Amino acid sequence: MVFANRLTRRLGIEHPVVLAPLDQIGGGALAKAVSEAGGFGVLGGGYGDRAWLEAEFPKAGDAPIGVGFITWSLAKQRELLDLALAHKPKAVMLSFGDPAPFVDQIHAAGAMLIAQVNTLDQARHVLDLGVDIVVAQGTEAGGHSGAGQGTMAFTPQVADLISRGSYDALLLAAGGIADGRGLAAALMLGADGAMMGTRFSASQEALTHPAAKARLVAAAGDETARTSVYDILRERDWPAGYRARFLRNGFLDRWEGDPQGLAAEKVALQSVYKTAVVEADFDIANIGAGESVGLIHDLPPAGDLVRRIVAQAAVLLA
């Protein structure tokens, strides 16, 4: 089954399934697998790590892929955009910040610009900048998101905004999508495709730790929480309004409701956290996961996932 629509034609792909840029989890092998199955793979450049990018880009081989960055972090090390563009990605995705300073450079390099938004004001802004693809991210999403709306309500509002303004941009829905039902729903809501992260973090090619993958498979959708606890410990300077959705664990339950205690014990807890990351102790360390984690029950190859999602959506849309 091949889905042909504006997104597939513009990106030169078969299916309107796009891999979210999972920070240092979505490596070259995962991006390649998604693209070779007919979707569009995106490297998870995240906060920006030169050594990681230089190691992962070659693993994608000749597969057409994109690369994603956290916008406010990329602004502090713009040379990483030069590095990424030298690898000739088909698209660059920017999330959580104003993409305006990067638009001309990305387009001049021949790449499409994908901008993730969490509010209608952000959507209007990026559309006026001339971005090629807008990602309407709902608060169900794993990892960071803004204090906006859920995917079901937000996506059609952005679709209407694009239509009323006669913009040429395409639209992806993101947040809470993990199977063919979600893809079909995204298309019915007016999106041109769906972006998925949590589902692909539980795939064979993902760089997710095996113990974390096992927890993703076992978790229910109500076992996640949006929090700033881990950003505080990692001293990530996130703008106001953004929090990250992770799987709940004992550490998060202990400190989420005690900001004063967290601040008082911060230095000691940072040491505890770093040790937990090294030892893969996920009773303390964090695992990014959206509410769609409750729909994950296996760890297939990413290519099989793409084909499964598309086949299910095709039956439903028929």
- Whether residue 2 is predicted with pLDDT greater than 70 in this model: the reply is no
Q: Print the SS3 string covering 244-313.
A: EEEECCHHHHHHCCCHHHHHHCHHHHHHHHHHHHHHCCCCCCCCECCHHHHHCCCCCCHHHHHHHHHHHH
Average model confidence (pLDDT) across the chain = 96
φ, ψ for residue 104, nearest 5 deg = -65, -40
Does residue 252 register a pLDDT over 70?
yes
34: its two tokens: 């998604």
Mean pLDDT of all residues in 176-191: 98
- From residue 233, alpha-carbon distances to 46, 242, 264, 275 in Å are 18, 15, 12, 13
Split at pLDDT 50, 70, 90, the class of 273 is: very high
Per-residue pLDDT tens over the stretch 29-62:
999 999 999 999 999 999 999 999 999 999 999 9
Residue 3: per-residue pLDDT: 77
Query: What number of other Cβ atoms are within 10 A of residue 52's Cβ?
Result: 18
Spell out a b/e string for 195-220, using b for 16 or more CB atoms within 10 Å of the CB, else e: bbbbbbbbbebbbbeeebbebbeebe
As a whole number, mean pLDDT of residues 119-139 equals 97
Residue 78 has pLDDT above 90, yes or no: yes
- Residue 145 pLDDT > 90: yes
User: Does residue 124 surpass a pLDDT of 80?
Assistant: yes
**Residue range 247-260: mean pLDDT, rounded:** 93
Q: Over 90: is that where the pLDDT of 153 sits?
A: yes
Q: Which two tokens stand for residue 81?
A: 């955009």
* 245-258 per-residue burial string, b: 16 or more CB within 10 A, e: under 16: bbbbbebbeebeee
Edge-to-edge strands of the sheet including 41-46? 17-19, 193-196, 170-174, 133-137, 112-117, 91-95, 65-70, 41-46
Structural domains of the chain in order of their starting residue, each with its CATH number: 6-204+299-317 (3.20.20.70), 210-279 (no CATH)
| Beta-carbon contacts of residue 68 (< 8 Å; ≥ 6 apart) | 20, 21, 42, 43, 44, 45, 46, 92, 93, 94, 95, 114
CB atoms within 10 A of CB 317: 13
Q: Does pLDDT of 175 surpass 80?
A: yes
Residue 91 in contact with residue 11, Cβ under 8 Å? yes
With 0-12 / 13-18 / 19 or more C-beta atoms within 10 angstroms meaning exposed / middle / buried, residue 13 is: buried
Is 64:40 a contact under the CB 8 Å cutoff? yes
d(CA 16, CA 140): 20
The mean pLDDT value for 86-91 works out to: 97
The closest alpha carbon to 77, from 112, 101, 107, 113, belongs to 101
> Using 50, 70 and 90 to split pLDDT, how confident is the model at 165?
very high
pLDDT of residue 1: 62
What's the rounded Cα separation, in Å, for the pair 302 and 65? 14
Element (H, E) at 64: none
- Per-residue tokens: 80: 């990483």
pLDDT of residue 199: 98
CB 47 within 8 A of CB 23: yes
How much of the chain, in percent, has pLDDT values that exceed 70?
99
Q: How far is CA 26 from the centre of its chain?
A: 9
Closest C-alpha among 178, 239, 216 to residue 17: 178
